[in-house]
């Protein structure tokens, strides 16, 4: 497991304080059903509603499965209860996969492994979406971290209050510069107003052992409350001898007075995730997993001299690979109510990340002899790298970013006006280094590398982000409102190269790491227009039109960024003529919420939506060497390869059959098409009229739920259609269907325990095999993919004291 750190010692100091001895929480009352159509929950709750929500969570609850917001755009959310029903401790992004238009894949059942995860919403991938936690920006979720952290590292899953998706376009005030295709917003739970504690233990397949503990102070002083919580997770990977997990600490403080609302949140996360390598197809046809050989070092040394290694081709086995991440995230929020109609919201935040992606692989693989010969000409490479036949490559990350958001909200007659701004300073460093793997003292995937033999290159980035927005919602009549506004997005990035790669060390040998410089991504006017019409008390029509821009990623060699250019001249050319990616999103739809009397059918609510998106200036890193397995990366040319047109529909509904049964179903159709061909310097790639990779045309999700007092259960399905895996559409991943079930019971009237909940989960119920995340390629005839995790069983015991 990860080594101890300052963060863990800080947790011990806090958790073992006298605060941790609080143990009394009154038995929770049953929670009434939530409104069927409402905005997603926010962190501002009344004491009564908050206590009822927590009681529902402990008891299994009758919380509405999907919450639909009444906005000019499509926005749907899941609450705390439903997230934890799907699987206690689940990545909240994975929980959102049951919503229409959302396609999430990962090779582990929690969705925690970031290396092999993928997310698509209406044809846009995860790096083209926006993410916030309580309004604090989480960046664009790039695996090569540069401007944020994943939601599961930002907050403990059990502390998530709600998770929502704006699948067309996010709010103008969203703190993101990557939300071309919508936003994912997460909120943290507020402290309870009654003193108490909760402890949860998850047991499961592959030695899963997850422990969560939380202590609430209850109200103290004048309007103050707080909690501190801790989680440790350890689970053996299902297909190799690696243990994934780590430690995380959250703390939150809230103060409420007549005119002021203050909250502060702290998160520390330290995790290590040994990674499986993807399988290259069709060469690996018949191969489902490509596990590393750790911890059997003797086998690993023999393997690289065996016929199995020589015959494996692109699917050779590494000794190990892993993602190591440590994050500190903190924010303070202050809202002041000048009057009933004038409010001022402010947030200041800071995030520090120290990360390392590490791969220990054979020194003869994928162009490495050429790289090493540039640094150690004429030397015997096996001796140089410790005599094991392996070398260890790292990509090391340091990220320090901080910022402030501020917004004035003014209600004037029939107008609701909002003026806001966001500033962030981000200092980011990414370094590529190589280390020996000593035959007598091999390293492990759980430790940081020391004393590099090769410091190949380092990129430093300094980014200033300025975003402002102004909008007015005009209530023309009691039932009809119009919204109009715009945002201004100005992003200034200066990329430097303090350490450059040696000539001849890259692939191809003539490539270089470019010095770079400053490039700006600026759009002073990005408009938005919307309307909401309450046709009847039960039906609502909405429409939204919005333009968004995505700023350039802060990354160097081998990435789809200006700083990945292989010459300074290419960088300067892009600086003069390049354009950032933009999108126009058009969406409209109807919402329904109606009580009916049709035999067993008693209630129905749902939403149907049509959307059209025009995505312009699509940027693509065109590889100059075509290989899927190059451990040293490949030189790329950044090019504007034209536009994408998307049309689609989402249809979701929930039907209630009395108080005990309900059925939720979401059916989505998406057609995203490349409009242009492009060249790679040798030939024209015929992509015009082809489907966008990774996003299926059809997907369907359903949840059948039953509630009987203290007992509950769900049957969940996720059906994903055919996904193209090459830009030329000559290869694809077959459709698949996965099912899961969960069931639980809450016991009351146990001495000294307010509620004891027992929950069982089975994931991938039918043990479906197939490809989860696919790594699409520009090359016809091959792609790589990760497997779907097999059927697994979990048991959760949760007690409130």
pLDDT of residue 367: 81
Residue 28 has pLDDT above 90, yes or no: no
pLDDT band at 371 (very low <50, low <70, confident <90, very high): very high
Dihedral over Cα of 565, 571, 574, 580: its sign:
positive
DSSP string, 493-536: EEEEEEE-PPTT-SSSTT-------EEEEEEEEEEEEEEEEE-S
Residue bearing the bigger pLDDT, 632 or 756: 756
225 vs 204: CA distance, rounded Å: 34
Residue 699 has pLDDT above 80, yes or no: yes
220 vs 691: CA distance, rounded Å: 58
Can you give the length of the chain in residues? 801
Backbone angles phi, psi at 533, to 5 degrees: -130, 115
652 vs 100: CA distance, rounded Å: 7
pLDDT of residue 31: 34
Over residues 448-465, the mean pLDDT reads 96
* HSE, side-chain direction, 13 A CA sphere, residue 478: 3
- Sequence-distant (6+) residues with CB within 8 A of 716 are 86, 98, 701, 702, 703, 704, 739, 740, 741, 742
204-220 pLDDT tens trace: 999 999 999 999 999 99
Residue 47 has pLDDT above 80, yes or no: no
pLDDT band at 558 (very low <50, low <70, confident <90, very high): confident
Per the CB < 8 A criterion, the answer to whether 78 and 41 are in contact is no
Residue with tokens 């929670």: 31
pLDDT band at 63 (very low <50, low <70, confident <90, very high): low
Residue 783 has pLDDT above 90, yes or no: yes
pLDDT of residue 12: 38
Residue 140 has pLDDT above 60, yes or no: yes
Dihedral over Cα of 427, 433, 438, 444: its sign:
positive
pLDDT of residue 52: 42
Backbone angles phi, psi at 573, to 5 degrees: -65, -45
Residue with tokens 């409102």: 481
Please state, rounded to an integer, the average pLDDT across all residues of the chain: 90
DSSP string, 277-301: PPEEETTTTT-------TT-HHHHH
pLDDT of residue 509: 78
279-323 pLDDT tens trace: 999 987 889 999 999 999 999 999 999 999 999 988 999 999 999
- In the chain, what are the domain boundaries? 6-800
Retrieve residue 338's tokens.
Answer: 């000048």
Bridge-based pairing of strands 130-133 and 183-188 is parallel
pLDDT of residue 626: 52
For 148, counting Cβ atoms within 10 Å of its Cβ (0-12 exposed, 13-18 middle, 19+ buried), the class is: buried
Over residues 226-230, the mean pLDDT reads 98
| Domain 6-800: assigned CATH number | 2.40.170.20
Helices (H), 99-244: 151-154
Work out the end-to-end distance of the chain between its first and last CA atoms, rounded to an integer number of angstroms: 30
747 vs 450: CA distance, rounded Å: 52
Q: Which of 6-20, 354-368, 705-719 has the highest mean pLDDT?
A: 705-719
Over residues 4-29, the mean pLDDT reads 34
pLDDT band at 633 (very low <50, low <70, confident <90, very high): low
90-132 pLDDT tens trace: 999 999 999 999 999 999 999 999 999 999 999 999 999 999 9
Over residues 639-652, the mean pLDDT reads 96
Strand partners, 603: 595, 656
761 vs 83: CA distance, rounded Å: 13
pLDDT of residue 484: 98
Over residues 676-686, the mean pLDDT reads 89
Bridge-based pairing of strands 711-720 and 723-724 is unpaired
pLDDT of residue 15: 34
pLDDT band at 507 (very low <50, low <70, confident <90, very high): confident
Over residues 579-589, the mean pLDDT reads 97
């Amino acid at each position: 497991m990860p080594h101890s750190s300052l963060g863990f010692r800080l947790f011990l100091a806090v958790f073992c304080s006298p605060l941790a001895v609080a143990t009394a929480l009154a038995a929770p009352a049953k929670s009434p059903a939530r409104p069927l159509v409402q905005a997603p929950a926010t962190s501002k709750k009344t004491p009564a509603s908050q206590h009822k929500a927590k009681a529902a969570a402990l008891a299994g609850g009758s919380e509405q499965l999907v919450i639909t917001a009444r906005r000019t755009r499509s926005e749907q959310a899941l609450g705390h209860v439903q997230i934890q029903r799907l699987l206690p401790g689940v990545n909240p992004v994975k929980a959102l996969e049951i919503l229409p238009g959302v396609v999430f894949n990962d090779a582990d059942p929690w969705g925690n492994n970031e290396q092999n995860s993928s997310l698509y919403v209406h044809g846009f991938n995860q790096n083209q979406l926006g993410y916030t936690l309580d309004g604090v920006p989480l960046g664009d979720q790039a695996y090569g971290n540069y401007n944020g952290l994943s939601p599961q590292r930002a907050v403990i899953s059990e502390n998530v209050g709600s998770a929502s998706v704006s699948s067309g376009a996010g709010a103008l005030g969203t703190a993101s510069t990557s939300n071309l295709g919508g936003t994912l917003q997460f909120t943290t739970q507020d402290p309870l107003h009654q003193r108490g504690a909760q402890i949860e233990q998850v047991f499961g397949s592959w030695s899963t052992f997850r422990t969560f503990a939380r202590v609430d102070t209850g109200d103290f002083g004048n309007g103050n409350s707080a909690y501190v919580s801790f989680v440790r997770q350890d689970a053996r990977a299902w297909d190799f001898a690696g243990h994934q997990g780590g430690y995380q600490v959250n703390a939150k403080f809230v103060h409420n007075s007549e005119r002021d609302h203050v909250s502060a949140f702290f998160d520390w996360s330290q995790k290590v995730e040994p990674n499986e390598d993807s399988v290259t197809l069709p060469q690996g046809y018949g191969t489902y997993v490509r596990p590393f050989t750790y911890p059997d070092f003797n086998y690993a040394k023999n393997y690289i001299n065996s016929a199995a290694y020589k015959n494996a081709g692109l699917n050779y086995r590494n000794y190990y690979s892993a993602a190591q991440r440590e994050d500190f995230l903190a924010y303070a929020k202050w809202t002041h109510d000048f009057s009933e109609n004038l409010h001022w919201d402010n947030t200041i935040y800071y995030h520090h990340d120290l990360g390392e992606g590490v791969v220990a692989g054979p020194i003869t693989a994928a162009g490495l002899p050429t790289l090493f010969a540039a640094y150690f000409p004429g030397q015997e490479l096996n001796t140089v790298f410790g005599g094991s036949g392996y070398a260890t490559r790292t990509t090391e990350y340091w990220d320090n970013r901080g910022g402030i958001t501020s917004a004035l909200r003014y209600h004037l007659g029939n107008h609701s006006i909002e003026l806001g701004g966001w500033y962030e300073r981000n200092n980011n460093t990414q370094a590529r280094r190589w280390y020996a793997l000593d035959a007598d003292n091999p390293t492990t995937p759980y430790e940081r590398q020391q004393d590099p033999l090769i410091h190949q290159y380092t990129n430093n980035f300094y980014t200033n982000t300025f975003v402002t927005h102004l909008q007015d919602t005009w209530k023309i009549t009691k039932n009809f409102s119009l919204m109009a506004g715009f945002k201004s997005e100005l992003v200034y990035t200066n990329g430097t190269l303090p350490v450059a790669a040696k000539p001849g060390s890259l692939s191809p040998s003539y490539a270089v790491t470019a010095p770079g410089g400053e490039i700006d991504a600026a759009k002073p006017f990005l408009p938005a227009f919307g309307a909401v019409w309450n046709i009847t008390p039960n039906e609502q029509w909405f429409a939204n039109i919005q333009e968004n821009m995505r700023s350039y990623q802060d990354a160097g060699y081998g990435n789809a960024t200006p700083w990945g250019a292989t010459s300074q001249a290419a960088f300067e050319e892009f600086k003069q003529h390049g354009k950032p990616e933009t999108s126009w999103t058009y969406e409209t739809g109807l919402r329904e919420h109606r009580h009916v009397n049709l035999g067993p059918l008693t209630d129905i609510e749902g939403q149907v939506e049509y959307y059209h998106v025009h995505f312009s200036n699509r940027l693509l890193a065109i590889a100059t060497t075509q290989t899927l397995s190059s451990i040293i990366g490949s030189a790329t040319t950044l090019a504007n390869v034209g536009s994408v047109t998307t049309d689609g529909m989402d249809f979701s509904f929930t039907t209630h059959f009395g108080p005990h049964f309900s059925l939720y179903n979401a059916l989505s159709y998406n057609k995203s098409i490349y409009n242009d061909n492009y060249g790679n310097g040798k030939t024209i790639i015929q992509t015009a009229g082809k489907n966008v990779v990774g996003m299926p045309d059809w997907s369907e999700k359903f949840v059948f739920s039953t509630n009987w007092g203290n007992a509950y259960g769900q049957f969940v399905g996720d059906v994903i259609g055919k996904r193209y895996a090459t830009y030329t559409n000559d290869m694809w991943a077959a459709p698949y269907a996965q099912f899961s079930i969960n069931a639980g019971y809450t016991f009351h009237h146990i001495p000294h325990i307010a509620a004891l909940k027992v929950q069982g989960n089975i994931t991938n119920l039918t043990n479906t095999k197939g490809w989860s995340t696919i790594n699409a390629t520009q090359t016809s005839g091959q792609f790589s993919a990760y497997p779907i995790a097999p059927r697994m069983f979990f048991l959760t015991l949760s007690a409130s004291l």
